[in-house]
A and B are shown apart, each in its own frame.
Chain A
Amino acid sequence: MSDGQPAVDRSAKVTEGQISDSLSQALGAGAPAKPAGPITAAFAFAWRGMLKVKHVPEQLLDVTITPVMFVLMFTYLFGGAVAGSTAEYLDYILPGILVMSVIFTTVYSGIALNTDLTKGVVDRFRTLPTWRPALLVGSLLGDTVRYVIAGTVIILVGVIMGYRPPAGVSGAAAALGLVVLFAFGLSWVFTTMGLLMRSPNAVMNTGFMLIFPLTFMSNVFVEPETLPDGLKWVVEHNPISYLASASRGLMEGNMDTNDITVVLVTAAVLTAVFAPITGRLYRRG
């Protein structure tokens, strides 16, 4: 470099001049005094998550379509047999499917983090002078928007099928809020998996292998009364059952504080255990 510009052909020289002028201007521009604080940084990453919902809506569709299929199939195929009529069964199953659809979406948080890691964009984020865990916190904040969308879609499908929440819009909103809060806690489990596993596919397979039995062995689809004792015990102690019962209570207007407490404590414990593990794995790289 010190011994002068090497020869370049004439056409290249034109672009060189153009780039250099505006580039040196861009390089000389004033920089902010200091990088963003933790909260601004987290919200910037949340914004990034929402942009992805906008640009890649099919990812959201993937996780919403299964619960929509389930609510249609279960209601019309088994509704009559399980609850006497499809309308009665819809009243029972819809709050449960709401839980299921949002829980399914949490797996996506782990898949998204793993995808980021395999693509190298996280390297850039980690070399920025901002609070490092902002990416994790912000992404999960952005994901809550995704959870709200997934939950709203299911409630709307239910309404189209004739479901009318007895506690009205506010009851449905409260149930959705509780489910999203629980999902925020659960998603730390999947971000931990996202940092440990080798590929987004591995996170997806393992995630759903975990999530499927967890949601089916709950009271999402059927009342546990008729189940064999061992299974009944599992279903009754499954946190997903508490979440489904709590949502049912809120949507029907007879909320159960015990159910809600168990849900909130579970979400808090999951966050307290898995958020620091995620943070440590992420810092280690």
Chain B
Amino acid sequence: MLAIDASGLVKSFGDTRAVDGVDLAVPAGSVYGVLGPNGAGKTTTIRMLATLLRPDSGTAQVLGNDIVSQGAAVRRSVSLTGQMASVDEDLTGRENLILLARLLGFGRSGARARADELLEAFDLSEAANKLVKHFSGGMRRRLDIAASIVVTPKLMFLDEPTTGLDPRSRNQVWDIIRALVSGGTTILLCTQYLDEADQLADGIAVIDHGRVIAEGTPAQLKTSVGYGSLHLRVVHPGQREIAERLLGERFDGVHRGADSTALSATCRDAGEATAALAALSGASVEVADFSLGQPSLDEVFLALTGHPAEEPTANEEESE
């Protein structure tokens, strides 16, 4: 049984086709990742499936109900955790949960009990009576997810649940997602991080310019890119060119990173990497950082589309 069955979804804003014919088939009980850079159309797709936007064309069934003609039935079994935290900043954490519990049909005392139970479960009891605007990013995310399971949904939309979180909070959110799935909830997870999709998702659709450009398991996607990638930083920016040439003799897909010392390449064999390191040292290129790792979203994109996920911006260069 499919939890989401969408075909040919299209949504334009003015001249921009934000979503340009998206097909999705998400099996019930799974985590399905929608992977893509900013502006690829992930959020617009989620908003259509959650009945917040009406598609220009195309159809979709969510848990067997049509998103346009049976919107009310769809809303009865889904919940949404948006990219911008979907909680009220001017209320306390507890008040947010009580409000939602009341709206979902709990009585007065039932709503309070449910709020306290969730605050406990999400390790938010201490901050329960603080205004949400004073919450840390991780706490806000946890509250956001707690708000989505006041009544446990059959399907949950999670839009970039860990963007901007520190690693510890990110791990917590991942644990919560795993617990939700083991309880039987289907999750549609939008993310910019291949790593996140790899950790959580059973299936992934890669989306770019409003279209699904690849689909498969995380393992299949990574194989399509190569076994992994080699990341290198030279000490002196001036030596990058020599390093680039030396790597180019051994590897495919050598490209420059965002900052002036970074290089990466597709690497199928760890032995080759050792040889490359030796060659660099032979040419007196000083290496600051050398690693073999999973392909990044950038590399998946490069392999699938021939263009990077995002043009490096001045901002990213500064943060490197």
Contacts and interface: CB of A to CB of B under 8 A. Distances in A.
Nearest to B184: A27
A37 B178 CA distance: 33
B178 A1 contact: yes
B121 A23 contact: yes
Contacts of B264: none
Nearest to B198: A6
Given A23-B176, A35-B76, A123-B82, A128 B103 contact: yes
A31 interface: yes
Contacts of A40: 102
A190 B179 CA distance: 44
B112 to A, nearest CB: 13
A12 B76 CA distance: 34
Contact of A24 (B87, B88, B179): B179
Interface string B110-144: 10001001101111000000010000000000000
A48 interface: yes
Contacts of B176: 19, 23
A5 B200 CA distance: 10
Contacts of A230: none
A56 B103 contact: no
B179 A23 contact: yes
A19 B123 contact: yes
A52 B88 CA distance: 10
Interface in A15-36: 15-16, 18-20, 22-29, 31-36
A213 interface: no
Nearest to A9: B171
Interface string B82-121: 1111111111100100011011111000100010011011
B171 A12 contact: yes
A27 B147 CA distance: 12
A121 interface: yes
Contacts of A34: 105
Contacts of B51: 126-127
B99 A48 contact: yes
Interface residues of A, number: 49
Contact of B175 (A1, A15, A22, A127): A15
B75 A124 contact: no
A55 interface: yes
A52 B90 contact: yes
A124 B80 contact: yes
Contacts of A44: 99, 102-103
A143 to B, nearest CB: 14
Contacts of A120: 82-86
A47 interface: yes
A25 B79 CA distance: 19
B86 A124 contact: yes
B151 interface: yes
A145 to B, nearest CB: 15
B175 A20 contact: yes
A6 B195 CA distance: 12
Contacts of B168: 12
A35 B78 CA distance: 13
Nearest to A116: B88
Given A22-B120, A27-B149, A52-B90, A32 B104 contact: yes
B183 A28 contact: yes
Contacts of B152: 27-29, 31
A224 B121 CA distance: 65
A24 B104 CA distance: 20
A25 B121 contact: yes
Given A26-B117, A121-B86, 19 more contacts: A1-B31, A15-B171, A16-B171, A20-B175, A23-B176, A27-B180, A29-B114, A32-B105, A47-B99, A48-B88, A51-B91, A52-B91, A55-B90, A120-B85, A121-B87, A125-B103, A127-B52, A127-B80, A285-B52
3 A-B pairs closest in CB distance: A32-B105, A120-B84, A124-B86
